[in-house]
Amino acid sequence: MHSPLTGGRIKTQLPNYHIVKDGLKGLFASIVVGFTVSTILVLIVITLALLSTSASATGVDQINNTKSGSLLVKNAQTGQYMPTPTLLTDVKINVSGILARTKVSQQFQNSSKDWVEGIYIFPLPENAAVDQLRMRIGDRIIEGQIKERKEAKKQFQDAARSGKKATLIEQERSNIFTTSLTNIGPGESITIEITYQNTLDYRDGAVSLRFPLVVAPRYIPGQEHNENATTSTLNQDPVVTDAHRISPLIIDESEQKRNPVNLSIKLDAGFTIQTIQSTNHTIKKNKINEHQYQVHLVSDNVPADRDFEVVWRSASDAMPRSAVYTEKKGGKYYSLITLFPPTDPNADMPRLPRDIVFVVDTSGSMHGASLDQAKSALELAVKRLTNEDRFNIIQFNSNTQSLYSHEQPASEKNLKVACRYINALVAEGGTEFAPALSIALNDDAKAGRIRQVVFITDGSIGNEDQIFSMIKKRLGKNRLFPIGIGSAPNSHLMTKIAQYGRGSFTYIGDISEVETKMGDFFNRLENPVVTDISTKWPEDLTVDISPSIIPDLYQGEPLVIVAAMDERFTGSIQIEGLFAGQPWRQTVNLEKRTEEQGIGQIWARRKISEHMGSLRDGMSEEVVRQAVLDLALGHSLVTKYSSLVAVDVTPSRTMQYMYRQLIPSNLPNRWSQAKILGALPQTATGSLMHLMLAALFSALALIFFLKGKSPKARGQR
Amino acid sequence: MSVRIRQLMFATLLSLAIWHLFEGGYIHAKAWLAQHLIHNAWKASSSNASAQKPWPGADTHPVARLIARNGKVDLFVLSGTSGRTLAFGPGHMTGTALPGTYGNVVLSGHRDTHFSFLKHLGIGDQIFLESSSGDRKSYEVIKTQIIHENDIHIARDNGDDRLTLITCFPFEAIVPGGPMRYAVTARALSPNTLNI
């Protein structure tokens, strides 16, 4: 009332009241128009808002709420996403020693009224060699063929067009695969069987088997930037920034019943088993004999948010000294050799003093349980140091910060400072790994000392290539030991860091494991057994072994090499190295061997991995592609350049031709991917909405302004 | 309605209007200003051959320069496609081929700021992408399409050399967050077909 606006208005109105009268009519009209327009606008905005939220509720949110094993079908008529009620995953693993052959059956059921095609994306273990595909329709089985990727895709697309059922298995990243299916009729179900082999981790008398049930959101489709390197000075974005879009917001309990996972292991350990344990899941064990067990995942309660891990231990001293597995395939002879270096507990092993650098990830992704695990692991590690050792702690997020400028003696006083530093760590910000790595690799091992770099991270790091090439260039005599933290660390990155860094990778899935896992880890870290290892084969034998660089062996760790030979060789080979600094030599007799399936594939998979790695060293893509393709086609392996494709002989969609043609080709009626690969970036700002709202509120403000004015103006008459 | 309430409503509505005007304008101002700051970081990146942050505390850095529509569009592309990054410039989708390399380079940008020009692109139009080393690659638009945001196949590497530009669709939608995307696919032209 005492506002300058009101006062000013009355003064000007008095002498011009005719004008005001005419003006008022106009104003009144504009108020009516303005109000109507505004109301319509409000309605439009509200409707749009509702429409867009309902669209995202049926699409994005549902996808977000879905766990990795699930699959969504997009309905062509309504454009809505409806989860298929049944996708059954059945995993059967056959273990013999450290060899595992796994059959993953995915049963898809199309409960919609339409013919559909779809894509299903799933993770497999890091070193999985996928070599077999079977498509099961009723009781008919169609075997998949290995083809060059483009050719396989073309066959699949041709089949899709001609109404034939078809399946295509492609590799997206070295541990991410996709299954594409086409021409699944209403109410039909189809089973896809994929077989792969891999070698298991074997150390400290324990073998561990992992089956990934979840893909952490860091995986982004498209170019395999792990393996397809480019020599570029550019960083890739260090963190997967759209993680929030592809992480489940709420875990829907009913999903578990919808997409159950059955998992069973036929276990033949090759030694007397003392214990069998699962890290994250409940399992049921049936003993067959001392060496053999049948293990089941209790399927009523499968938390699909954690990788499945089973560990079996030998009774002490029950471990075989060495083992040789062989396979004859396609005129070649393959041998997988495992060898344990001598460990005489009575012998006094000289303990070399160590310089150890702990690099801990304190980025935002580590927040919560992960950082707690990292802290307790780090504290345990620091407390293990002796007076002779020197240490430093580096933390990295968006910035890199270190406790000391260079390694300091592990004196009591320094350790106290270190513990305080560890306790104060806070997880926040981005993941700039490279600068931390660079600082850690600034120095090299001094004479008579060992220099080790321990990384504690969840591995949500994007610029992998830059990291690998830095390690290759600057490793020197340093050794790198990544420790993976969290429910689903990026084991591809960690394994590679360990491989290039000649160290080993430890995975800690839960805070309760920190103590035992770190205990094993320290044993290894503190007792490097054999270094600078090489193998000697007869000179006249053509042999191709993998790995070409053999990592150092730590206590409790076996040497695992795979060799391909042109002729049968049953003699002995020499393995040489430095045992606690002294020359060491061991003979392995290849005559005592076990025939086993899949050794050839394991060899080829390792070779392919080496070839893909050579891209980083500037090898031309064409050369690598050819080499990988030769191996892949020879061994029937799915790689970046080759896919498995199965096509039904007879078309099944004959009746539905008309219907099919009605569907626009650029929006096919197909299954959308699960949350794993997520969605394209969000690319609209609210700018237009804000500006519209600004206009709307101005209009409303004007109404109130004028409404306040009109009765007074009338009163003046 | 008492005068006091009316005035209160008026003041509230006016402030809301001003606030929205500011918010709406701020998005454009930020988008525009950031590109200028990035220009400097870009020059520094090019001369140092190392990634430079455009401003202190930035969680991204320029990875390429995108030129289209005969130079009418000249944008700096940032690393990553988080909402925070896209406010400042179009982003390079992590995991896809890096600008300047062979493969499917995927860039996305806001439909109402940097990438509003996508609606004007037609088949046959040329787009240039300059990497920090100064190499310029040319592309020719071969396809424009409307896709669902879950149709991530567009970001896959199919083994050919291409550039994919993605923005939200429809361009004029008032409320952001819709599920549709507008995608422009351009194939790389081999260096000898260039006439610049």
Looking at chain B, which residue has its C-alpha nearest residue A233? Answer: B50
Which residues on chain A are in Cβ contact (under 8 Å) with B152? Answer: 221, 673, 677-680
Contact: B17, A701; criterion CB under 8 Å: yes
Q: Which two tokens stand for residue A475?
A: 């490793």
Is it the case that residue A224 has pLDDT exceeding 70? no
Q: Quick one: pLDDT at residue A496? A: 82
* Interval A624-631 mean pLDDT: 93
* Catalytic-role residue among B61, B92, B110, B114: B110
Contact: B150, A707; criterion CB under 8 Å: no
Q: Quick one: pLDDT at residue A100? A: 93
Q: How many CB atoms lie within 10 A of CB A617?
A: 11
Q: How far apart are CA A570 and CA A582, in angstroms?
A: 29
**Which DSSP letter does residue A655 get?**
G
- Note down the domain range covering B182: 3-193
Contact: A233, B51; criterion CB under 8 Å: yes
Contact: B108, A220; criterion CB under 8 Å: no
**pLDDT tens profile A421-461:** 998 888 777 778 888 888 888 887 777 788 889 988 877 66
Hey, what long-range contacts does A704-712 have (CB within 8 A, 24 or more apart)? A704/B6, A704/B7, A704/B9, A704/B10, A704/B13, A705/B10, A706/A27, A706/A31, A707/A31, A707/B1, A707/B6, A708/A6, A708/B3, A708/B6, A708/B7, A708/B10, A709/A9, A710/A24, A710/A27, A710/A28, A712/A9, A712/A10, A712/A13
Contact: A685, B113; criterion CB under 8 Å: yes
CATH code, domain carrying B151: 2.40.260.10
Higher pLDDT, B161 or A49: B161
Q: Cis (ω within 30 of 0) for the bond into A212?
A: no
- Provide the phi-psi class of A79: left if phi over 0, else alpha when psi is between -120 and 50, else beta: left
Is it the case that residue A660 has pLDDT exceeding 60? no
Whether residue B110 lies in the annotated active site = yes
Is it the case that residue A60 has pLDDT exceeding 70? no
Looking at chain A, which residue has its C-alpha nearest residue B143? Answer: A666
Contact: B110, A1; criterion CB under 8 Å: no
pLDDT band for position A319 (50/70/90)?
Answer: low
Give percent of chain B with pLDDT exceeding 70.
87
Q: How many CB atoms lie within 10 A of CB B92?
A: 28
SS3 assignment for A453-502: EEEEECCCCCCHHHHHHHHHHHCCCCEEEEEEECCCCCHHHHHHHHHHCC
Residue with tokens 């060293």: A617
Strongest mean pLDDT among A220-234, A372-386, A418-432, B114-128: B114-128
pLDDT band for position A520 (50/70/90)?
Answer: confident
Q: Quick one: pLDDT at residue A351? A: 66
DSSP B104-168: EEEEE--TTTGGGGGGG--TT-EEEEEETTS-EEEEEEEEEEEEETT-GGGGS--SS-EEEEEEE
**pLDDT tens profile A139-168:** 889 999 999 999 999 999 888 888 888 999
Domain residue ranges of chain A, discontinuous segments joined by + = 4-57+688-715, 354-526
**Strands A322-329 and A594-595, sheet pairing:** parallel
Predicted structure pTM score:
0.54
**pLDDT tens profile A566-602:** 888 888 888 888 776 678 888 888 887 888 888 999 9
Of the listed ranges A271-285, A674-688, B37-51, B136-150, the one predicted with least confidence:
A674-688
* Interval B110-119 mean pLDDT: 88
In this structure, are residues A305 and A214 in contact, taking their beta carbons and an 8 Å threshold?
yes
Which residues on chain A are in Cβ contact (under 8 Å) with B17? Answer: 693-698, 700-701
- Which residue from B149, B155, B179 is facing A221, i.e. has the nearest CB? B155
Higher pLDDT, B134 or B52: B134
Q: How far apart are CA A503 and CA A483, in angstroms?
A: 11
Is it the case that residue A45 has pLDDT exceeding 90? no
Contact: B7, A708; criterion CB under 8 Å: yes
- Which residue from A56, A74, A429 is facing B177, i.e. has the nearest CB? A56
Amino acid letter for position A575: I
pLDDT band for position A367 (50/70/90)?
Answer: confident
Q: Quick one: pLDDT at residue A546? A: 85
Is it the case that residue A471 has pLDDT exceeding 80? yes
**pLDDT tens profile A393-406:** 999 887 888 888 88
Is it the case that residue A170 has pLDDT exceeding 80? yes
- Give the minimum alpha-carbon distance from B158 to chain A in angstroms, rounded to a whole number: 8
* Catalytic-role residue among B61, B92, B114, B168: B168
Is it the case that residue A294 has pLDDT exceeding 90? yes
- Give the minimum alpha-carbon distance from A211 to chain B in angstroms, rounded to a whole number: 24
Contact: A694, B24; criterion CB under 8 Å: yes
Instruction: Indicate the helix (H) or strand (E) that contains A535.
Output: strand A528-536
**pLDDT tens profile A172-221:** 777 778 788 888 777 788 888 999 999 998 877 788 898 876 543 332 22
Q: Which residues pair with A559 in a beta bridge?
A: A339
* Interval A363-391 mean pLDDT: 83
Q: How many domains does chain B have?
A: 1
Is it the case that residue A74 has pLDDT exceeding 60? no
Contact: B159, A682; criterion CB under 8 Å: no
- Protein fold of A354-526: Rossmann fold (3.40.50)
- Which residue from B108, B115, B132 is facing A234, i.e. has the nearest CB? B132
Of the listed ranges A87-101, A227-241, A678-692, the one predicted with least confidence:
A227-241
- End-to-end Cα separation, chain B, in angstroms: 69
Give percent of chain A with pLDDT exceeding 70.
68
Which residue in B46, B143, B149, B153 has the most chain A C-beta atoms within 10 A of its own C-beta, making it the best mutation to test that interface? B149
Decide if the complex's ipTM is over 0.90.
Answer: no
Is it the case that residue B96 has pLDDT exceeding 60? yes
Q: Quick one: pLDDT at residue A87? A: 63
- Which residue from A235, A667, A684 is facing B168, i.e. has the nearest CB? A684
- Give the minimum alpha-carbon distance from A604 to chain B in angstroms, rounded to a whole number: 23
> For chain B, how big is the Rg over CA atoms in Å?
19
Which residue in A680, A691, A700 has the most chain B C-beta atoms within 10 A of its own C-beta, making it the best mutation to test that interface? A680
pLDDT band for position A523 (50/70/90)?
Answer: confident
Half-sphere exposure of A157 (CA within 13 A, CB side): 8
Among B94, B86, B60, B90, which residue's Cα sits nearest to residue B75?
B90
Which residues on chain A are in Cβ contact (under 8 Å) with B173? Answer: 48, 52, 684, 688
* Interval A679-701 mean pLDDT: 81
Which residue in B20, B45, B111 has the most chain A C-beta atoms within 10 A of its own C-beta, making it the best mutation to test that interface? B20
Q: Quick one: pLDDT at residue B107? A: 92
Contact: B93, A689; criterion CB under 8 Å: no
Q: Which two tokens stand for residue A518?
A: 């770190």
| Cβ neighbourhood burial of A661 (10 Å; 0-12, 13-18, 19+) | exposed
Which residues on chain A are in Cβ contact (under 8 Å) with B117? Answer: none
Contact: A705, B28; criterion CB under 8 Å: no
Q: How far apart are CA A576 and CA A536, in angstroms?
A: 8
Which residues on chain A are in Cβ contact (under 8 Å) with B109? Answer: 683
Residues 6 or more apart whose CB falls under 8 angstroms from that of A48 comprise B173, B174, B175
- Which residue from A666, A672, A682 is facing B145, i.e. has the nearest CB? A666
Average model confidence (pLDDT) for chain A?
Answer: 72
* Interval A659-680 mean pLDDT: 28
